[in-house]
Every structure is written in structure tokens, then in C-alpha cells.
Amino acid sequence: MNSARRAFAKALADIDVVIEVTDARLPGASSNPMIEELRRFRNRPCLKLLNKADLADPPVTREWIAHYSAQPGVRAVAISAKHPADVGRIPALAQQLAPHRSGAEKPLRMILAGIPNTGKSTLMNALIKRRVAKVGDEPAVTKSQQTLDLGPGMTLTDTPGLMWPKIEHDADGFMLAASHAIGRNAVIDEEVAAHLGAILLARYPALIEARYRIDVAGLDGESLLERIAQRRGCMRKGGEIDLEKAANVFLTDYRTGSLGHITLERPGERL
């Protein structure tokens, strides 16, 4: 982490626009405060991409776009890195943030940054239009920086997923773990799933009822996992409930979008 931070800070000296990739389902929790600190120190504009917008709740995504776009030097847009039309907009949006940089003599120099597993590698491959970055549904797939020509008068530097030293709020940690930004070896799936369940019971109870065909009245995160285990046959020998298996079912349904369009936080709540 320290090595990646130093490399990112050094690269910023020769960069015109920071492109930060966040998860549209948790834009605040997935925004790295170190990236914001370093780009402000260098006075670099930021194109903030709310990726995986196809999995998020559209009205809440619009709230986040308005929230970030109101900040100085920031332009926020919602995208899905899997949709070519969304990806195709990015170079022009970055160019608008640095109109003085264009052409072969003054190429637009961009850097792609963000926390692990927000879709940076998928986006990098889509922008370059060939496989140049390893992609996987696990954190820390990208290991080192690389700079490539994006087109005439444009370069793009890809960076490893960059976390910050301490996650201040436990709620952020649970949301990041639920969304696979934190590796499984660092968390307990049942605890993460129970926390996610509590959020979804408060925000999207109808989606849970529709997915698992259960009545959620009176349930909390832990009892929700028990009900999911019963409905999905997550049982051990002797009829004991297998909460770990139920947690994996629930987390997978959330991560793949099988539960529906979900956003875990709103801008005002972070205040």
C-alpha cells in the first residue's frame, strides 16, 4: 500500500487529469481519501466515475453525481465499464477538464486510480480496446503501474488498487467487504452478510422478499441469514443451519445484481 501510494504521488507530477473509479453502489465508501488529498495537493482535476452503475439504484446515483459535480475541479458521471458507449465518453470528458492539453506536442496525460476491485482493469482494457490489464473479481489484481497510448495526443496510466491506512468507520469496512473491495481472508463472511442484510432490510425489503420469497417483517441481519439458509437448503448434517453457506449465497446475489438495483448509501448520510 505504501509503495503504491508513493508511486501514485510521483506519477501525479506529470499528469493532467485524475480518473478515479468508484463503485456506484457505495460511492462515498469506495472513494479513497488519499487520492483526493494527493490530487488536491497537485491541483489536478478529477473525473470521478461511478462504475457498475448498472447494478446501482438510478435515482440515488443521480444524487451522488450532483453531489460530486458540485465540488471544485470534479466532474462525476455514472458508467458501466462493460458498456462500450459509456467507455467511449470518457476521453472527451477528461479533455474538458484540461482543455489546454491536446495534440502531439501537449498530449492529455491521464491516470486511472481507485480502490481495489472497482473495475479499473475492465475499464482500462475497454479504453485501450485490447487486453492489457488482468481482470478478476478479487481485490489487488493489478500489481504495477503501466502507461499506454490511448489515442492521438492522449496517454493513460493504470495503477494498482490503492487503499488507505485505516478505514475510519466500521460501516464503510462492511460495505467495502460486501462489494468485494476487501479480500475474504480479512473478513468473516457471516458478519459482512449480516451487516449487508440490515442495510437492505431498511432500504430494499421488497427486493429481499421477491428474491427469497420470505416475509421480512421483524427480521434483522442475522435472522435474515437464517431464513435464507432455510429457503436455500443451506444445512449441515444433522439439520444444523450453515450460516457461512447462506452468507455466500446472499453476498453473491448482491454482488452479481441478482437482488436488483441497490445502492448502500446516500450523500447526506456521510455527513
Q: 190 and 243 in contact (C-beta within 8 Å)?
A: yes
* pLDDT in the model for residue 21: 97
* pLDDT in the model for residue 246: 97
53-91: buried (b, 16+ CB within 10 Å) or exposed (e) per residue? bbbbbeebbeebbebbeeeeebbbbbbbbeeeebbeebb
pTM reported for the whole predicted model: 0.90
Q: 145 and 160 in contact (C-beta within 8 Å)?
A: yes
Mean pLDDT by 10 residues, the chain (271 residues): 82 93 97 93 96 98 97 96 94 94 85 91 87 53 70 87 87 94 84 97 98 97 96 91 96 97 94 76
- The side-by-side arrangement of strands in the sheet containing 146-151 is 74-78, 46-51, 17-23, 108-114, 154-158, 146-151
Q: 110 and 150 in contact (C-beta within 8 Å)?
A: yes
Q: 86 and 126 in contact (C-beta within 8 Å)?
A: no
127-154: buried (b, 16+ CB within 10 Å) or exposed (e) per residue? bbeeeebeeeeebbbbeebebeebeebb
Domains of the chain: 2-158 (3.40.50.300), 188-270 (1.10.1580.10)
